[in-house]
């Protein structure tokens, strides 16, 4: 029932608030609005009572309703300013009571409202202490916007860290984006601003209006902890309730927790969400998260990949950044659906036994005015000195890893993706740029650390702590470093003074391999060491062999077009051999989408992959090779169990540069399996003898020259028998057909082998 207000005609009593205090609201520049607004004990002319103040948009009149006695006549408040500031004194009342505001609007309508300034803080003193200490690992549960019931009233709580701000307001459609009506309070000296706004609910668009320390003009910022955003150019945060998804991946998570990925096959399909497939009939739009959930899991299952790695799925304003200039570190991008839709995609992948890795970008952030840059009018998240705070290559800003609250923000971001969205791993972008203060800087453009060195000690400590915390809360999770330098101990445990990553991209191997395969086969013998050199450092870290998106853009050509042959069939033959070399080399695997079928054109972030190419055997053959390599890799897990150990690899022939032939063994754990790989990287078919450790039958389990792959069909009819003919210091040898430009994989037949006879002692 609408309340009724009867105001007397005579002038109401004199006001209690001073003119300067009132001006601080009108300007507005009030940092402690809860001291004045709401209901408070007060004395007027020696008489004790309660003062009630309210600041309301579109309010012609306002009165206080005693919620204990709603039929009691409302107590009218005096309007002190045309913008809607009201005050009233209730004499004789000494104890605050629950109340509502009865508001008459300019159109004559009357509503009852709960006063936002009638609520206690939603954060406790312990919350504030841990946040400021930087030890609240799940700070994202405290800061941000949350639809909740507070003091038995539904609404939304807001909390944001802005220690140098003079005033913080929550603005949105609900108050016409006017910062006067919902000013937050700073909680002590914590730098945290908080307000509970009753009546708001999920779906509300909002931003923070901030008055900085020295600028008289307020500015708008999106919520650093928001989980959902509207599209550019407005980029407003949206209140979103993450509850409600019924996860069906409990078995996957249990299995993950007891998995040692160092001893398991890991084959990762790197994917850009917006360009894997698109819908030409609908203005070439990308697939949604839910459409991806239908199409991606069966494709990955067929191809045999163990994981998918999403290029940064976090919110970003510019699609051309591919997601690497993040403005929403806790939010799946709106481009493909809601956070619940992203949950659905991850859940579908888990039910298909596919792990989910996301690219995470803690190395830098963009300068967009609505986001983190200069957040409270000061260099809050970034260093103030551009020699530390500006990333010269990308025009972005570098996080201040020495600030506890900044480290807590980033660690919370990492954990939130695991906790909320059930991801299985992080591929951490641009780690090299984090480790070194002089990264991509000239002399005089950087500041040494406290010991005079170039290492970024704060960033190193941040990475160590992040890896420790992730592995503590999520056993079986993977953290992968994109790190291109020789920094020692990237994948060594923190307890052993390493960074604590599980895996590191093998950038050196990638560059050397591409250089070798880009050579005309006639000249490859002069570059033989580019494929053998990697074994010198192979076990210095736990590596992932990778051909990523970075290798197929900006004029570098697609993987297929890196091959030097003049015709597609020749390039396809070369690429099949390259992938077989990659999959049989020790280490985990990562391949960018489209490369698995020989995408001809460079990758474009705003166009679909050229799936029509699979109509042609040259491309379909490449896809089949990748599929069969994955299946072979996963079907023989003992090989993967030793791929990070030196005893899992042994050269047979590393020096035949004249023929560009390589041969090596891959050994399985406990001698459960042995593979022999023989590679011929020239267009000459050969009869070739290789030494082996045992006699008997060696099965030919994959041949990249097979007809079904688009090859000529040369090979060994499925097997070759080793005879007691010593070769290259081996007691037995095989005489095999080695097809041109191909890799042949043999597996020792354990049931039909013999070992060298023991020599009799004299």
Mark the ranges of the chain whose per-residue pLDDT is less than 50.
1, 6-12, 754, 756-762
What is the C-alpha separation between 480 and 457, in angstroms, rounded?
Answer: 20
Phi, psi dihedral angles at 756 (to 5 degrees): -60, 140
What is the C-alpha separation between 142 and 146, in angstroms, rounded?
Answer: 9
Structure tokens at 105: 């609007």
pLDDT, position 120: 96
Asked if residue 226 lies in contact with residue 146, where contact means CB atoms within 8 angstroms, the answer is no
Residues of the chain with pLDDT > 70, as a percent, come to: 96
What is the C-alpha separation between 693 and 754, in angstroms, rounded?
Answer: 9
CB atoms closer than 10 angstroms to residue 357? 23
User: What does the DSSP 8-state code read for residue 370?
Assistant: T
pLDDT, position 2: 54
pLDDT in tens, 109-163: 999 999 999 999 999 999 999 999 999 999 999 999 999 999 999 999 999 999 9
CB atoms closer than 10 angstroms to residue 311? 22
What is the C-alpha separation between 702 and 722, in angstroms, rounded?
Answer: 18
Instruction: Compute the residue count for the chain.
Output: 762
Asked if residue 54 lies in contact with residue 98, where contact means CB atoms within 8 angstroms, the answer is no
Q: What is the 3-state secondary structure (H, E, C) of 353-366?
A: CCEEEEEECCCCEC
pLDDT, position 10: 38
Q: What is the 3-state secondary structure (H, E, C) of 193-220?
A: EEEEEECCCCCCEEEEEEECCCCCCCEE
Tell the burial category of 455 from Cβ atoms under 10 Å away from its Cβ (0-12, 13-18, 19+).
middle
Q: What angle do CA 630, 632, 585 make, to 5 degrees?
A: 75
Instruction: Write the CB contacts of 259 (distance below 8 Å, at least 6 apart in sequence).
Output: 476
Indicate if the alpha-carbon torsion angle 152, 157, 161, 162 is positive or negative.
negative
Same fold, 19-117 and 125-238: yes
Indicate if the alpha-carbon torsion angle 329, 334, 337, 339 is positive or negative.
positive
628 catalytic residue (yes or no)? no
Structure tokens at 74: 């409302």
Structure tokens at 232: 């550019």
In the chain, how long is the greatest CA-to-CA distance?
Answer: 127
Structure tokens at 510: 């990638």
Q: How far is CA 420 from the centre of its chain?
A: 13
> Helix, strand or coil for residue 564?
coil
pLDDT, position 751: 53
Whole-prediction pTM? 0.95
Asked if residue 725 lies in contact with residue 733, where contact means CB atoms within 8 angstroms, the answer is yes
Domain spans, the chain: 19-117, 125-238, 510-545+565-599+624-762
What is the C-alpha separation between 637 and 675, in angstroms, rounded?
Answer: 12
429 catalytic residue (yes or no)? yes
Phi, psi dihedral angles at 472 (to 5 degrees): -70, -50
Residue tagged active-site, from 458, 482, 512, 653:
482
Asked if residue 397 lies in contact with residue 279, where contact means CB atoms within 8 angstroms, the answer is no
CATH number of 510-545+565-599+624-762: 2.60.40.1180
| Among the listed residues 508, 520, 503, 532, the one whose alpha carbon sits nearest the alpha carbon of residue 644 | 503
pLDDT in tens, 638-692: 999 999 999 999 999 999 999 999 999 999 999 899 999 999 999 999 999 999 9
Asked if residue 456 lies in contact with residue 401, where contact means CB atoms within 8 angstroms, the answer is yes
Q: Backbone dihedral region of 620: left (phi > 0), alpha (psi from -120 to 50 degrees) or beta?
A: alpha
CATH number of 19-117: 2.60.40.10
What is the C-alpha separation between 182 and 168, in angstroms, rounded?
Answer: 9
Residue tagged active-site, from 209, 315, 347, 429:
429
Report which secondary-structure segment, H or E, holds 296: helix 289-303
CB atoms closer than 10 angstroms to residue 248? 11
125-238 is a CATH 3.40.50.1970 domain: no
Instruction: Write the CB contacts of 621 (distance below 8 Å, at least 6 apart in sequence).
Output: 572, 576, 708, 709, 710, 711
pLDDT, position 753: 52
Enumerate the β-bridge partners of residue 515: none
Q: Give 3-state DSSP helix, strand, coil % of the chain, rounded to 5.
A: 30, 30, 45
């Amino acid at each position: 029932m609408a309340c009724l207000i009867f105001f007397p005609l005579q002038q109401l009593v004199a006001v209690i608030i001073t003119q300067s205090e009132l001006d601080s609201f009108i300007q507005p520049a009030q940092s402690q609005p809860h001291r004045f607004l709401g209901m408070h004990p007060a004395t007027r002319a020696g008489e004790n009572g309660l003062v009630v103040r309210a600041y309301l948009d579109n309010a012609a009149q306002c009165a206080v309703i005693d919620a204990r006695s709603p039929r009691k006549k409302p107590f009218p408040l005096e309007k002190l300013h045309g913008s809607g500031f009201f005050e009233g004194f209730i004499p004789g009342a000494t104890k605050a009571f629950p109340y509502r505001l009865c508001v008459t609007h300019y159109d004559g309508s009357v509503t009852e409202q709960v006063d936002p300034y009638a609520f206690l803080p939603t954060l406790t003193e312990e919350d504030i202490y841990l946040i400021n200490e930087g030890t609240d690992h799940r700070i994202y549960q405290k800061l941000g916007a949350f639809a909740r019931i507070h003091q038995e009233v539904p609404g939304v709580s807001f909390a944001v860290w802005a220690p140098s701000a003079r005033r913080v307001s929550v603005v949105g459609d609900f108050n016409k984006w006017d910062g006067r009506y919902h000013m937050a309070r700073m909680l002590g000296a914590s730098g945290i601003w908080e307000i509970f706004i009753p009546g708001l609910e999920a779906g509300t668009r909002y931003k923070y209006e901030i008055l900085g320390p020295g600028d008289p003009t307020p500015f708008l910022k999106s919520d650093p902890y928001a989980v959902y955003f509207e599209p550019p150019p407005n980029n407003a945060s949206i209140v979103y309730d993450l509850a409600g998804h019924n996860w069906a991946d409990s078995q996957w998570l249990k299995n993950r927790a007891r998995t040692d990925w160092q001893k398991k096959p890991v084959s990762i399909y790197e994917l850009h969400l917006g360009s894997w497939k698109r819908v030409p009939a609908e203005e070439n739009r990308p697939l949604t998260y839910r459409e991806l959930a239908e199409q991606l899991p069966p494709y990955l299952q067929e191809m045999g990949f163990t994981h998918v790695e999403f290029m940064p799925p976090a919110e970003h304003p510019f699609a051309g950044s591919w997601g690497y200039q993040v403005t929403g570190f806790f939010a799946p991008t709106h481009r493909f659906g809601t956070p619940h839709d992203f949950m659905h995609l991850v859940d579908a992948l888990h039910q298909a036994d596919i792990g989910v890795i996301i690219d995470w970008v803690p190395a830098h952030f963009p300068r967009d005015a609505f986001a983190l840059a200069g957040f409270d009018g000061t260099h809050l998240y970034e260093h103030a000195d551009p020699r530390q705070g500006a990333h010269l290559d990308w025009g972005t800003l570098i996080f201040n890893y020495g600030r506890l609250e900044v480290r807590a923000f980033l660690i919370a971001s990492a954990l939130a993706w695991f906790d909320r969205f059930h991801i299985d791993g992080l591929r951490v972008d641009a780690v090299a740029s984090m480790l070194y203060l002089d990264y991509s800087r000239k002399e005089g453009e950087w500041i040494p650390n406290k010991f005079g060195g170039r290492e970024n000690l704060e960033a190193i400590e941040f990475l160590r702590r992040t890896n420790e915390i992730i592995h503590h809360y999520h056993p079986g999770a993977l953290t992968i470093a994109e790190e291109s330098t020789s920094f020692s101990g990237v994948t060594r445990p923190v307890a052993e003074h390493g960074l604590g990553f599980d895996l590191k991209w093998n950038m050196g191997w990638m560059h050397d391999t591409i250089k070798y395969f880009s050579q005309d086969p006639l000249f490859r013998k002069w570059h033989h060491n580019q494929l053998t050199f990697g074994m010198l450092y192979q076990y210095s870290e736990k590596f992932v062999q990778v051909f990523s998106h970075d290798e197929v853009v900006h004029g570098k050509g697609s993987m297929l077009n890196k091959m030097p042959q003049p015709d597609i069939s020749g390039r396809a033959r070369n690429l099949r051999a390259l992938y077989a070399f990659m999959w049989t080399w020790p280490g985990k695997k990562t391949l960018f989408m489209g490369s698995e079928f020989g995408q001809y054109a460079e990758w474009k972030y705003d166009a679909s992959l050229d799936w029509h190419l699979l109509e042609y055997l040259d491309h379909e053959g490449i896809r089949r090779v990748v599929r069969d390599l994955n299946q072979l890799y996963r079907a023989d897990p003992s090989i993967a169990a030793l791929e990070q150990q030196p005893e899992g690899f042994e050269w047979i022939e590393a020096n035949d540069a004249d023929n560009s032939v390589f041969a090596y063994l891959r050994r399985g754990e406990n001698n459960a399996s042995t593979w022999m790989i023989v590679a011929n990287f020239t267009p000459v078919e050969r009869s070739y003898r290789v030494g082996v450790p045992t006699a008997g039958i060696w099965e030919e389990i994959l041949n990249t020259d097979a007809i079904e792959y688009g090859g000529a069909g040369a090979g060994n009819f499925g097997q070759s028998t080793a005879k007691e003919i010593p070769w290259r210091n081996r007691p037995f040898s095989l005489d095999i057909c080695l097809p041109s430009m191909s890799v042949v994989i043999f597996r020792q037949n354990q049931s039909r082998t013999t070992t060298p006879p023991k020599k009799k002692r004299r």
